[in-house]
């Protein structure tokens, strides 16, 4: 692991480890070398965007994020471009996904669920006031910052006013089936605000119940239940929560409760704290066009520097929860996130070999590149093929940290995979004396 690696510098940002991967983008941790601030940078390949006719969608996503400056929405700092890449610099959120919290706890207590729902409604109401409709609201797209506050992310499917047709409605069917409103499936046009609100209602149900109100393996059966709003609240829902969920998950959008009425709802108002912020109405969308311009005057240079691939103390701390390094040595039965880590005292090459030997019997093809590996599932799952990335870092002489994260596919399928995967790796996982004591 002491072999020479390279780091990339984009303008004032030094790119670090990969936080996540998608079909058209990779999200990297980066550091502003001027201020020392951590940011996340979404890196997109220009050639791929052109080939797949994604340019307008990316322009729309960037424009949307520039329009919505709110404390409960992930903030866009700036947009940069080189000759081959687009760099979207956004706020780095350290608390993970709300989805992971639900999976770990099973369900949230009503007061905690209400707090997140209040922040969600605050953010969504603000988006709608700016003519922005998210269209893919779900717990996986809701992040938590270091203080436990909710941050809405991923505006890749969002709509702006210019997408409304002559009838004043949106017509593109999009979103995640379990969270999508009946009028969106109906394919006759829908109001973006009421459709978003339906998704908020599903999220509120999931937060308090720990499971989906509409969940069927057969898509047509799922849609039938959504059309009819066939669901039942668990017995532990309070009367106020039950009534509000029922008014949000009402199949006729014209009779569905609106956000102004939610803000006046007694259950919702309990301990309600509106978001405090000063809105600056100086949004300039010119740089959105600049990054796709052929002109060289707006381009930044990509500088590559060679240095050892060693995980330093700062990076270790940034990967843990706050300053608690115990998060780096997670107990196997508690690995419920989309990104997990363990440490090993085995040689790096032995770790790589063991990962490969464990993954193949589980039905995964293995692609190696030095100390990075991509595990690609052979079977098609709920969201395509499950894809898992692994990377080995040197923490200290004879001590390595292995990061395993979901790169694509369904999160619950990843959890199931990791349970089996971790069993096969148990011989190389280093257990500290502290962990041994906890296990007793």
Q: Residue 338 and residue 412: Cα distance in Å, rounded?
A: 9
Task: Give the HSE-up count for residue 71: Cα atoms under 13 Å, Cβ half-sphere.
Answer: 13
| Six-digit token string for 74 | 């992930």
The b/e string for 308-333 (b: 16+ C-beta within 10 A; e otherwise) is ebebeeebeeebeeeeeeeebbbebe
For Cα atoms 337, 343, 349, give the angle at the middle one, nearest 5 degrees.
Answer: 115
Q: Which of 38, 100, 125, 136 is labelled catalytic?
A: 136
Question: 399 pairs with which residues across the strands?
Answer: 396
Catalytic annotation present for 125: no
Give me the torsion for CA of 103, 106, 108, 113, rounded to 10°: 50
In angstroms, rounded to a whole number, what is the distance separating the alpha carbons of residues 407 and 415? 13
SS3 state at 102: helix
Helical (H) or strand (E) element with 38? strand 38-45
Q: State how far the Cα of 115 lies from the Cα of 108, in Å rounded to an integer.
A: 11
Q: How many residues does the chain have?
A: 440
Cα gap 115→134, rounded to integer Å? 20
In whole angstroms, give the CA distance from residue 377 to residue 385. Answer: 5
Instruction: Name the one residue in this structure whose structure tokens are 């919290």.
Output: 101
Nearest residue to 20 (alpha-carbon basis) of 367, 417, 408, 337: 408
Nearest to 407, CA basis, from 370, 367, 358:
367
d(CA 93, CA 73) in angstroms, rounded, equals: 11
| 299: helix, strand or coil | coil
Looking at the DSSP bridge assignments, the partners of residue 404 are 340, 390
Q: Annotated catalytic sites, by residue? A: 136
């Amino acid at each position: 692991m002491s072999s020479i690696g390279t780091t990339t510098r984009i303008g004032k940002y030094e790119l670090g480890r990969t936080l996540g991967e998608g079909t058209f983008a990779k999200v990297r941790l980066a550091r502003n070398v001027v201020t020392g601030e951590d940011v996340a940078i979404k890196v997109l390949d220009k050639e791929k965007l052109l080939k797949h006719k994604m340019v307008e969608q990316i322009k729309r996503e960037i424009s949307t994020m520039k329009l919505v400056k709110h404390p409960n929405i992930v903030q866009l700092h700036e947009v940069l471009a080189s000759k081959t890449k687009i760099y979207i610099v956004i706020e780095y959120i350290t608390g993970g996904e709300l989805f992971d919290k639900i999976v770990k706890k099973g369900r949230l207590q009503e007061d905690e669920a209400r707090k997140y729902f209040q922040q969600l409604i605050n953010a969504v109401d603000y988006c709608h006031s700016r003519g922005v409709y998210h269209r893919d609201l779900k717990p996986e797209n809701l992040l938590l910052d270091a203080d436990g506050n909710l941050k809405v992310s991923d505006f890749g499917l969002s709509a702006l006013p210019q997408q409304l047709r002559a009838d004043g409605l949106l017509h593109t069917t999009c979103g995640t089936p379990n969270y999508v409103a009946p009028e969106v499936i109906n394919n006759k046009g829908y109001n973006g605000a009421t459709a978003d609100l339906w998704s908020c209602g599903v999220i509120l149900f999931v937060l308090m119940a720990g499971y989906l109100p509409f969940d069927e393996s057969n898509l047509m059966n799922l849609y039938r239940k959504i059309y009819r709003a066939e669901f039942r609240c668990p017995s532990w829902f309070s009367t106020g929560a039950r009534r509000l969920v029922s008014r949000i998950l009402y199949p006729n959008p014209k009779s569905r409760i609106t956000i102004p009425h939610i803000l006046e709802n007694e259950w919702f108002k309990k301990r309600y704290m509106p978001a405090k912020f000063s809105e600056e109405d100086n949004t300039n969308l010119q740089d959105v066009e600049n990054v796709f311009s052929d002109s060289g005057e707006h381009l930044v240079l990509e500088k590559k520097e060679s240095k050892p691939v060693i995980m330093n103390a700062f990076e270790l701390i940034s990967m843990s929860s706050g300053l608690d390094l115990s998060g780096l040595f997670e107990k196997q039965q508690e690995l419920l996130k989309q990104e997990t880590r363990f440490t090993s005292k085995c040689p790096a090459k032995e770790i790589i070999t063991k990962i490969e030997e464990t993954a193949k019997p589980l039905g995964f093809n293995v692609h190696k590149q030095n100390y990075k590996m991509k595990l690609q599932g052979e079977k098609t799952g709920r969201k395509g093929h499950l894809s898992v990335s692994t990377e080995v870092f040197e923490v200290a002489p004879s001590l390595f940290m292995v990061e395993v994260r979901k790169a694509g596919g369904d999160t619950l399928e990843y959890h199931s995979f990791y349970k089996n995967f971790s069993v096969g790796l148990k011989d190389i996982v280093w257990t500290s004396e502290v962990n041994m004591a906890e296990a007793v």
